[in-house]
Structures are given as C-alpha cells and as structure tokens.
Structure 1
Amino acid sequence: MRILVIAILVAAIGWAAYWFIGSSAQERSVNRWLEQQQNAGWVANSSNVNVRGFPNRFDTIISDLEIADPNSGWAWSAPEMQFLMLSYKPNHIIAQWPQAQTVSTPNQNITVDSAEISASVVFRANTALALERFTASLDDVKLISNQDWNSHIQSAILAMRRTDASEFSYDIAFDALGFTPPSDIKAGFDKSGILPETFQTVSVSTTAHYDAQWDRLSVEGNLPTLTKLDITDGRAVWGGLELQGTGSLAIDAQGYPTGKLTVRAKNWKDMIKLAQENGAIDAGLARKLETGLGLIAMLAGNQNTLDVPLSFANRMTSIGPIPIGPAPQIRRPRLNN
C-alpha cells in the first residue's frame, strides 16, 4: 500500500509538472507569434495571454486581440479568442470566436455579431502539423457595416478532411442556410426584383487536389495551389431559381479551369435575364442562348428545367457549343508574414 501511495504521488507530481511546463510553453508560443507579426510590420497586440484548465486541459484565452496589416489597411479585433485542447491530445484544437468582433477594411468597419462561430481542427502528429480534418460552424451571424449595409447568415458548416484519393487531396463540404446578401448587392444583381431577399440554401461537396499539403508551414508562407476540383454535388436555391452541378475541372498554373460540368438549371430563362441585366452577356447572345437552350429544353420535355454541359477550355466558358465569355480565374491568395 505504501508503494502504491508513493507511485500515485509521483505520478500526480509528474503530471502537474507536465501541465505547468506545457501551459507555460503555450503562453510563450502565442506571445512569440504576436512578436513575430510585429517584427514583420503588422500590428499584433493582446492585453493578456492566459492558459488554464489544470489538470486535463490547455485552454488558451487571448484577451483584447488586435491584428492589422498597415500595408493593406485590413484589421481584425476581438475582446477575446479561445483555443481549447485536452492536455493529453494537443493535436486537436477547438477555436471559439466571441459573439462580437470587428473587421476593418480601408473603406469601412464591419461588426460581426453571432450566436456562435467555432472550429475544430485535428492535425497529424508531426512537426509540420499537417491538417487531418477541419470543421467550422456558424450560427446566426450578422454583418453590420458603418457604410449602412448589413448581411445575415442563418447557419453554415464548412468541413475539410484529408483523403487518400491523391497525395495532397481533401474532401471539402460546405452547407449554408438562409443567406441574406447586402441589399445594395442584391439590388444591383436583381434589377427586376424577381428574387427574394434570402438564399434558401447553398451547398457544395467536392474533392480538392493541391500541389502541397495544408500544414503549419504552408499557412506561414504561400498557400497550396489548387490543381484539380472534383465536384460531387453543388446546389444553390434562390427563390424560384435552382442550380445543380457535378463534374471535374483541372486548374492550370495561371488558375484557369479546363473540363466540364453537368448543370441543371430550373427557371433558366430568368437566369439569362439576370445575366443580361448585369452585363455578363449582351442582348444578342441572350437571344441566341434562349433560342438554342429553349430547343434543348423542349426536346427534353420540360421547358422550365434545363440540363446542359458547361465546358471550360482555352480560357473560355461555353454552354454546349455556344461560347458565353471568358473562363473564371482562380487566384491563389498569398500570406506575407
């Protein structure tokens, strides 16, 4: 019994020492990162960094956090940011944003008000901290600008996980309900007023292939480049308009796609009308599209719903055999820390 008591005491002392060493390392790591950003010319301030949760948790609380890039004029501030993890599983982190935070741009300040914004991240147990899986959830998020506009999203979930489809590939799913865009954007897009204020749903399920893995090193430098996108299902519903798509796209070094998507469009004539009103296509092309696609829809037996191949080649976008304009360019953002 005496040996058992001694063993328990030694284990308890050892675990306490591990926690205090680990918590101190966490505090130093956060403060060192803030200092690195300051040395790189950024504003990176916090009034306090505190790690609590003894004995089984490392919960890092960063108070009065302010991050700003003077060169771009972008900034973010929050009264508190939390990073939560189990002390015996430090490669799984839960991040919790505060209910109120502020994003500033060169032109405006945007208040972000939410019921919840959180994320769960699991890294592989290696020095590079390669991403294994990631899930972020948003609940009742409101954006309020000092430029007299606001936006709202009822709920959204973004999930990403490493897959064995190729060396650097990830399954990505996004599902959003009740997205209300800013009224001026909606008015500019929908000049005829045929759409309601709110998107019913937007969802995407895809496998994304990159030229490198997502890890600590990639986020600190240049982000991995997207090389291929396999879309299992994509769907957007806005009022009476509905789009669904599947297909595969290869992305070249300049970010232009090559490949095909099979697209189903409900109330497609209204989509052509909106595209013409916004200047995406001219009146002549709109008439040609309506005539040609109308024939396809009639042969299929449903004049309101259209199933067509959307193809991308030579930096051009085509619906069936009809070119409709330049292909979109997917640009890789860069992080310069």
Structure 2
Amino acid sequence: MSLAILLTALYGGYWFVGSRAVLSGVETALSRLRDQGQVNYASIGLVGFPSRFDLTVEAPEVRGQDISWAAPFLQVFALSYKPNQIIAVWPHEQTVTLAGQRFDLGAEDMRASALFGADTSLPLDHAQMVVKAPTLAAALGWRASATEARLATQSISDDGRAHRVGVEITGIEMTGAAPTGLGATPVERAYLDATLSFDRPIDRFAGETVPRLARAEIDEARLVWGDMRAEADGTVEVTPSGTPEGKLTVKLVQWRQMLDAAREMALLSPVDAANLERMLDGISRGTADPDSVSLPFTLRQGMVYLGPFALGPAPRL
C-alpha cells in the first residue's frame, strides 16, 4: 500500500510540475505576441489531472496585416505522458476579417491533431485537420458551405523545412451569389497535393520568427464544378523579398462556362471579361477541343506572363 501511495504522489507531482511548465510556456509565448499586437485573449486555464493537459484559451484573437481571426475559445489537449502529441478543438462559430470584410465561419466539428519530434525545438512531424460541415457567410450576402474539409501535412526532410501538404474539400455549395443554373450544382471536389519548403523548420520557435515559404511544388491542384474543371501544376520559388519566380500550367475545361460564372458573380468587370474571352477564344482555336485551354503562366521579375504577354504584377507571398 505504501508503494502505491508513493507512486501516486510522484505521478501527481509530475503532473503538477508538468502542467505548470506547459501553462507558463504558453502564457510567456502569448504574452510576447500580445505585446507585439499579434494576439489577444481573455484568460488561459489548464486542467486534466491526472492523465491529461487540457489547455483552454478564452476569447482568443489573432491579428495580421490584412487578416484577423477571433473565437469564443480554443482548446488544446495532450496526454500527460505524451505531451508532444496534441489535439486542438475549435468552437462551432468563429469570425474572420479579411481586408476589412467580415466573414462568419461555422462548423459542426473542427479539430486537428499534431505530432512533434522529441527534440527540444519540437519540430512538427505531421499534422491533420478535419472540418465537418463547414460554412462561410459574408456580410455582402453570400454563403458557402461544404460537406467536409481535410488538411494533412507530413515532414519529408531531415531538417524539417519541407512538408508534403494535401488539402481536400468536398460538396462545396454557394447561395446568395451563385450564378444562374449553377447554384444547385455543388463543387464536387477541390484538391491540392503539393510540397512546400520553408526557410526554417516549423517548430516551437515559429511563433517568434514565422517560417517563410521558399518553394512550392504543385503536383496536382484540381477544382471540379459540374461540367467545369480547372487543373494546375508547376513549381514556384519565392525570393526573400516575397516575389514568386517559376512556371505554372493551368488547364481549364468548359472555360466559357467559367467565364459566364465569373461575370455573374461580379468577379470580372465587363471589359476584363470581354478581353479575357477574346484571348481564350484565340488560344482554343488551335486545339483539338475548343472548350478546353492550357495556359502556361510564367512568374518572372515580379510580373506574371501568359506566354510572351505580361499580365501584371505578381502577388507577394
């Protein structure tokens, strides 16, 4: 009996010391980010004795240059004997503000799991996220929903800088801004398979110096919506200044339907839509299938080119 009591006391001491270390580390990291104006929160609490570390951040906010995110809470769980393996759970309702526009994000269930290496820097080994029945509603009046969204990443290099990333969203539907005749047709599948390389590992120091994307190898990107399909592949290098350099090939099937949809959703002005239609029509004339076009994009010296024609400045990454 005395041995059992001793072991229980030792384990209780381990949980207390471990929980204090976890809570102190999180509070220190979040306080530093709050001082920098990047995050805010109401409180942090930790429970779960004796087998878990259950951390709850109340009213978290994350702020970027043109984007912010807020939620009622964020929970992170870990087994006390496997603190390098965590599960994160988000609430059913969240808010995202992008370029001054508010979007309400909802989900029946939204959670992720991650495994970190047994090194003091805690490099990310792999992670996955599943969102069931996600919804996105804009103040402008439109609403998007999906059956499920999945994201997975796996470290594929010894230094932890390269990750194989997969994203899949199924059953996407839009209301309030859907083109006539397409509103009842869900996007069957949006899919991405890519390898992303960063200038530093994704580890516990990422909060202090955010890893910068250095290279993106897109093996396959695909969007299927009714008869329409868009596919892309290619490789892009990102300079230290954030300028992308490389080549992407985009294939559009039923491109005229896509153009009509873009017009009805006001994604293109009448002038831009007319110019784009003339260009795509000219490209498709010499192909076996005039409803499909293959577009070779080049990103060079801060500009985007379609073949030899400059389209405009490339986005900064």
Q: Secondary structure at the match of 1:286?
A: helix
The structural deviation recorded for 1:215 is: 1.8
Counterparts in 2 of 1:68-107, with a 5 A limit?
A: 74=68, 76-78=70-72, 80-103=73-96
- The alignment status of 1:326 with 2:312, answered yes or no, reads yes
Residue-pair matches, total = 312
Listed one character per residue, the Cα deviations across residues 136-191 of structure 1 (whole Å, up to 9, x for unaligned) are: 1111122345554433232111111211287621111110112335634x5xxx5x
Match of 1:60 in 2: 55
Q: Does 1:162 align with 2:155?
A: yes
In the alignment, is the contact (CA less than 8 A) between 1:257 and 1:327 conserved in 2? Answer: no
Partner in structure 1 of residue 277 of structure 2? 286
**Given that residues 15 and 50 in structure 2 are in contact (C-alpha distance below 8 angstroms), is that contact kept between their aligned partners in structure 1?**
yes
Gap runs ≥5 in structure 1: 332-337
The answer to whether the aligner puts 1:305 opposite 2:301 as a matched pair is no
| Conserved? CA contact 2:218–2:235, under 8 Å | yes
Larger Rg belongs to = 1
How many angstroms apart in 2 are the aligned matches of 1:312 and 1:283?
Answer: 24
Q: 1:270 aligns with which of 245, 252, 257?
A: 257
CA distance in 1, matches of 2:299, 2:102: 38
The answer to whether structure 1 residue 253 and structure 2 residue 246 are counterparts is no
Partner Cα distance (1:174, 1:204) in 2:
5
Query: Residue 315 of structure 1: CA displacement?
Result: 3.8
1:243 to 230, 242, 259: 230
What is the root-mean-square deviation in Å for CA atoms of aligned residues? 3.4
Q: Which amino acid aligns with 2:50?
A: P
Find out whether 1:143 has 2:136 as its counterpart: yes
| CA–CA distance in structure 1, aligned partners of residues 2 and 63 of structure 2 | 54
Counterparts of 1:142 and 1:226, CA distance in 2? 28
* Partner residue, 1:209: 197
Q: In structure 1, give the amino acid aligned to 2:251.
A: R
Checking the alignment, whether the CA contact within 8 Å between 2:127 and 2:152 is kept in structure 1 is yes
| Distance of aligned partners of 1:254 and 1:272 in 2 relative to their CA distance in 1, 3 Å threshold | farther
- Cα deviation, 1:63-92, whole Å, max 9, x if unaligned, reads x424365997945131x4321111111111
The separation in 2 between residues aligned to 1:68 and 1:225, in whole angstroms, is 18
1:227 Cα deviation from its structure 2 partner: 1.8
- 1:254, CA displacement in angstroms? 3.6
2:46 match: 50
Task: Confirm or deny that 1:18 pairs with 2:1.
Answer: no
Q: TM-score, normalised by structure 2?
A: 0.82
Alpha-carbon contact 1:196-1:239 (below 8 Å) kept? no
Q: Is the 8 A contact 1:196 1:238 kept in 2?
A: no
Q: 168, 175, 193: which one pairs with 1:175? A: 168
Flag the 1:165–1:36 CA change in 2: closer, same or farther, 3 A. Answer: closer
2:280 corresponds to which letter in structure 1? L
**Which residue in 2 is equivalent to 1:334?**
none
CA distance in 2 between counterparts of 1:110 and 1:130 reads 32
**SS of the residue aligned with 2:282?**
helix
Q: Is the 8 A contact 2:71 2:93 kept in 1?
A: no
